């Protein structure tokens, strides 16, 4: 399809000037639309390559004035996820042009058509970045008006990182009566029918929620491979949008999707703008929450091996597996290097501006955390060779250098020459007595030392890595209470994973002052009694707590009463603990979305106490032998849409 478009556009070269505005030398035609063509050009003044959107026809004075206003707005915006406008003007023959940065890459639509729909894991990182640009544009009162997959470029940066960039901001205002697949009415309808909001189609009020609807269509297509509505004609498509509820992802594909993403998409695609997200920032927060839930292990991971049971037969719902996980090429390698050809941004782009680097202290699991002092654009990538001691991998928003093994001292020496390192993972090594000065000098944001042997000296060195947001010491052995107390120095820590490590009751004293913590995993930790656990209430942003399998003495009445004051909790695991019906009193009023109670000693009377948890979306009841099908049925009546997993 792209080759056909490019071929047709190339035939126009003979009709175009060889030099636009006596400055931009035409090299090749790389795309076209109803409004004009996109040309790869050489700027003979600055001696660099640019993309020039050149209008195919002269436009009237009103349209020219609008073009100038939109171009001025676009040119002043500068954001990592928006294609930059660098110039605009009028050629000698009166036709207008817009000059943009030239990118290597292809569009999101090209990628979907070539590789099929994305898995949720692969789509979410891209969607979060798209939201970043759109959100800040809205903060500057700039609407896109035509958000769709073909207006998202997947640019490849040095090192292979894929960066989505929004294009064609405001283009629909100019091409409403010209571009193919556009609807034309006397009320000036702007946008592509498959992505157009109902209020746009009927000439209603246009605001930020209009872009949110279009973004919902983009999300839908990224996950299913097709827009939510697609009629035989543009009018039929718009009529469906106005008169019908948007289909669910399941209805469109027959594949199960997590309830969270179904709800997000449905809210974006609501016919009534008042029922949609009020802002892209709100939408982004829900997407980020789902992204982090999708990445977490343990109780919070989707259990792909659990048996799926038809709810109509047993009334017990299964956890939804990630759609397309077995057949979708995106799910096989979320960050695979795309095979790009050089395609410059096809746009006329009335872009928007950057939403400053996002640091959400409300994130849930594995937050994509970065210090404001180091932006993405500052990153320098190290080209790892075949003899390197590290792999590069992307995970939870970080570019990790993962130690391969072989020779730790040589690996640390190699690490010392890498200019910028954001995150390091070292697994199953004896770090006792090993200097970590190299790691400290890199001012890491994330460090994982899972399954390593460490001592108090190791924790002393880690405690000096004060830029850390993310620390994973799961299954680390060999340190004492004294060493654990040193963790209290990590004031910027937001995620702490001590799963199956040697921490004792002293850890609660250590972390109570880490007031930015949003996630704490103490699964399978062997406490003496769990003394000091109540100090967790001092963490005002804590939204995920995993205590599953921890040796906490629950014989003392009210041992878990502190939980009722952890009012930000959204995810909670109390699996493999002797939880009784009485213990549920302390969590029934929390705004939980996910709760895991594997092997709990509760029965149907306990489930009755959970009926008021209207925010609950997933409940894990594996091996809760006293719970009955009837009890689950009544709970699901009280909380529609609740997913219950059991065996």
How far apart are the two ends of the chain, measured CA to CA in Å? Answer: 48
- The per-residue pLDDT for 381 is 39
Classify residue 349 by its DSSP letter.
-
> Minimal CA–CA distance to 174: which of 161, 190, 160?
190
What kind of architecture, by CATH, is found in domain 427-645? Alpha-Beta Horseshoe (3.80)
CA distance 226 to 221: 5
Which burial class, exposed, middle or buried, applies to 18 when counting CB atoms under 10 A from its CB (0-12, 13-18, 19+)?
A: exposed
Quick one: angle between helices 108-115 and 208-224, nearest 10?
20
Sequence-distant (≥ 6) Cβ neighbours of residue 511 within 8 angstroms? 487, 488, 496, 517, 520, 535, 536, 539
Residue 400, both tokens: 């990790």
- The per-residue pLDDT for 182 is 40
Sequence-distant (≥ 6) Cβ neighbours of residue 160 within 8 angstroms? 337
Active-site choice (4, 93, 132, 146): 146
List, run by run, the mean pLDDT of 10-residue segments along the chain (647 residues): 50 75 90 77 93 80 77 77 86 87 88 91 92 83 87 82 82 42 39 83 87 96 93 84 89 88 94 91 88 56 34 28 38 36 36 30 30 32 59 75 86 87 91 93 92 94 93 92 91 91 86 90 80 86 89 76 91 92 93 92 95 91 92 93 82
What kind of architecture, by CATH, is found in domain 2-101? 2-Layer Sandwich (3.30)
Biggest alpha carbon–alpha carbon distance for the chain: 87
- The per-residue pLDDT for 7 is 52
- The per-residue pLDDT for 339 is 39
- The per-residue pLDDT for 142 is 81
The backbone torsions φ and ψ at residue 19, rounded to the nearest 5 degrees and listed phi first, read -135, 115
Radius of gyration of the chain (CA): 27
DSSP of 175-232: HTTTSTT----TT---S-GGG--HHHHTT----HHHHHHHHHHHHHHHHHSS-S---S
- The per-residue pLDDT for 359 is 27
For the question of residue 146 being annotated catalytic, the response is: yes
CA distance 636 to 567: 24
- The per-residue pLDDT for 9 is 46
CA distance 268 to 270: 6
- The per-residue pLDDT for 380 is 37
In this structure, the dihedral spanned by the alpha carbons of residues 535, 540, 541 and 545, taken in order and rounded to 10 degrees, is 30
| Comma-separated ranges of CATH 3.30.200.20 domains in the chain | 2-101
| Comma-separated ranges of CATH 3.80.10.10 domains in the chain | 427-645
Do the strands 36-43 and 19-20 form a parallel or antiparallel pair, or are they unpaired? Answer: unpaired
Give how far Cα 437 sits from Cα of 413, 414, 452, Å.
11, 13, 17
- The per-residue pLDDT for 396 is 65
DSSP of 364-394: -SS-----TTS-GGG-------TT-SEEEEE
- The per-residue pLDDT for 633 is 94
């Amino acid at each position: 399809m792209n080759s056909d478009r490019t071929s047709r556009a190339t035939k126009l070269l003979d009709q175009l000037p060889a030099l636009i505005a006596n400055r931009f030398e035409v090299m090749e035609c790389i795309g076209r639309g109803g409004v004009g063509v996109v040309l790869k050009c050489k700027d003979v003044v600055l001696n660099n390559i640019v993309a020039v959107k050149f209008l195919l026809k002269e436009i009237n004075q009103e349209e020219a004035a609008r073009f100038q206003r939109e171009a001025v707005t676009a040119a002043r915006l500068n954001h990592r996820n928006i294609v930059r406008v660098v110039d605009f003007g009028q050629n000698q023959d009166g036709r207008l042009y817009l000059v943009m940065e030239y990118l290597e890459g292809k569009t999101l639509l090209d990628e979907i058509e070539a590789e099929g729909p994305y898995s949720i894991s692969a789509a979410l990182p891209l969607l979060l970045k798209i939201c970043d640009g759109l959100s800040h544009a809205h903060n500057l009162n700039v609407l896109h008006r035509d958000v769709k997959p073909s207006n998202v470029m997947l640019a490849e940066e040095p090192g292979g990182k894929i960066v989505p960039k929004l294009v064609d901001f405001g283009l629909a205002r100019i091409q409403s009566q010209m571009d193919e697949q556009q609807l034309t009415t006397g009320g000036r309808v702007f946008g592509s029918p498959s992505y157009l909001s109902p209020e746009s189609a009927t000439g209603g009020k246009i605001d930020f929620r209009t872009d949110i609807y279009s973004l919902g269509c983009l999300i839908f297509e990224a996950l299913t491979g097709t827009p939510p509505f697609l009629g035989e004609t543009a009018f039929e498509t718009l009529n469906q949008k106005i008169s019908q509820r948007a289909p669910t992802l399941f209805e469109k594909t027959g594949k199960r999707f997590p309830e969270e993403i179904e709800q997000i998409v449905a809210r974006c695609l609501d016919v009534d703008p008042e029922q949609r997200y009020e802002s892209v920032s709100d939408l982004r927060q829900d997407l980020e929450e789902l992204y982090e839930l999708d990445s977490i292990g343990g109780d919070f991971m989707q259990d792909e091996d659990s048996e799926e049971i038809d709810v109509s037969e047993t009334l017990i719902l299964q956890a939804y597996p990630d759609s397309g996980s077995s057949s979708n090429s995106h799910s096989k390698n979320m960050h695979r290097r795309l095979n790009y050809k050089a395609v410059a941004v096809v746009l006329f782009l009335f872009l928007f501006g950057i939403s400053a680097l996002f640091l959400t202290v409300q994130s849930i699991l594995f937050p994509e955390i970065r210090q404001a002092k180091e932006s993405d654009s500052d990153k320098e990538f190290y080209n790892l060779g075949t003899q390197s001691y590290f792999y590069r991998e992307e995970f939870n928003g970080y570019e990790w250098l993962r130690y391969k093994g072989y020779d730790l001292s040589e690996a640390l020496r190699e690490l010392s020459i890498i200019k910028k390192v954001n995150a390091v993972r070292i697994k199953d090594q004896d770090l006792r007595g090993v200097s970590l000065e190299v790691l400290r000098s890199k001012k890491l944001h994330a460090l994982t030392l899972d399954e390593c042997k460490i001592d108090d000296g190791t924790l002393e060195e880690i405690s000096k890595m004060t830029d850390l947001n993310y620390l994973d010491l799961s299954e680390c052995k060999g340190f004492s209470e004294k060493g654990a107390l040193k963790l209290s120095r990590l004031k910027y820590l937001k995620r702490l994973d001590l799963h199956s490590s040697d921490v004792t009751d002293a850890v609660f004293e250590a972390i109570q002052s880490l007031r930015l913590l949003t996630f704490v995993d103490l699964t399978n930790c062997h406490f003496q009694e769990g003394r000091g656990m109540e100090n967790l209430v001092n963490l005002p942003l804590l939204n995920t707590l995993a205590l599953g399998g921890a040796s906490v003495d629950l014989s003392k009445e009210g041992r878990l009463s502190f939980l009722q004051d952890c009012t930000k909790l959204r995810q909670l695991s109390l699996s493999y603990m002797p939880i009784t019906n009485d213990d549920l009193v302390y969590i029934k009023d929390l705004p939980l979305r996910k709760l895991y109670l594997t092997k709990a000693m509760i029965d149907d009377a306990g489930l009755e106490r959970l009926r008021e948890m209207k925010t609950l979306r997933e409940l894990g009841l594996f091996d809760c032998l006293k719970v009955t099908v009837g009890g689950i049925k009544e709970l699901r009546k009280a909380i529609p849409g609740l997913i219950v997993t059991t065996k």
